[in-house]
Every structure is written in C-alpha cells, then in structure tokens.
Amino acid sequence: MRLKHFTLGFGLPAFKALADENRLRMLFLIWKQGPMCTTDLELILDFTQTKTNRHLSYLKNAGLLTPKRTDQYIFFSLTEEYSELLNQILHYLEKDTQLLADQETFKVLFSNRELALNKIGKHYYNLTTKTEK
C-alpha cells in the first residue's frame, strides 16, 4: 500500500521517529540490508539491548517498522506505507560517514558469520522482501 494522501496526523509520528540519530542508523541498515533482528542491530551499532529495543519500539509504534518472528528472533522490516518517503529520505543520507561505517561493520560481522542472519540460515534472508537499492 502506498501513501495517496499524506496528512499531518499520519506523518507527525514518522517525522518524530526520524528526529533521532540512533533510529536513523537503524532504519538505514534495514533499508540497505533488508530485515534485521534486534541482536544483529545491537552488535552492529554497539547498543545495549535496552537501547535497541526502546528505539525499535518507537519506530514500530510510529508505523515505520513491521516485526516478524522467526525462531527466537524478531526481524524488523520497513512498512510499505512509508517506503516511498523513507526511500527518498534515506537516499540523501547514503554518503554519511557514520552510516557508511555501520554498513562496513555489517559486512564484517556478516562475513564472520556472527549475525543471527547466518545463525538461522540464509534461507530466511533470501525469502524476505529485500529490494536492491
């Protein structure tokens, strides 16, 4: 479902959620890599579990993320309703040094098989609705 009419009431929670650097870092990783679980975000961003869960809850409550349980992991992906808006916003941030560093950390942890994406198998990762950017 795509947004046809963007109202202040609909957009305000999203813009409040986007006003935090940590939440933007999470969204950017999910946007670039596809669905990510809490434990992977903790490792990549070097956050505590509490901090990660708090920010993921905020993003979920704002309607930007959708959770999906797989085994003991909960994977978060971007919602379709906000995908067009998030694509435009996050595209402008692609050259940010912090976000590029997060991407490199993801690549290293993924290649070292330390992420939950590897622990449950690439089967789930290939079945997700990841789109190439």
Tell me the CATH number for domain 10-127: 1.10.10.10
Nearest to 60 by CA among 72, 78, 87, 45: 78
Distance from C-alpha of 28 to C-alpha of 105, rounded to nearest angstrom? 13
Q: What share of the chain in percent tops pLDDT 90?
A: 55
Q: Which residue has the tokens 């409550």?
A: 61
Instruction: Specify the pLDDT at position 121.
Output: 64
Q: With 70 as the cut, is the pLDDT of residue 4 above it?
A: no
Tokens of 117: 């994406």
Q: With 60 as the cut, is the pLDDT of residue 93 above it?
A: yes
Nearest to 102 by CA among 17, 53, 29: 29
Q: What is the pLDDT of residues 37-84, one digit of tens each?
A: 999 999 999 999 999 999 999 999 999 999 999 888 899 999 988 888
Q: What is the mean pLDDT of residues 3-20?
A: 78
Tokens of 74: 């909960």
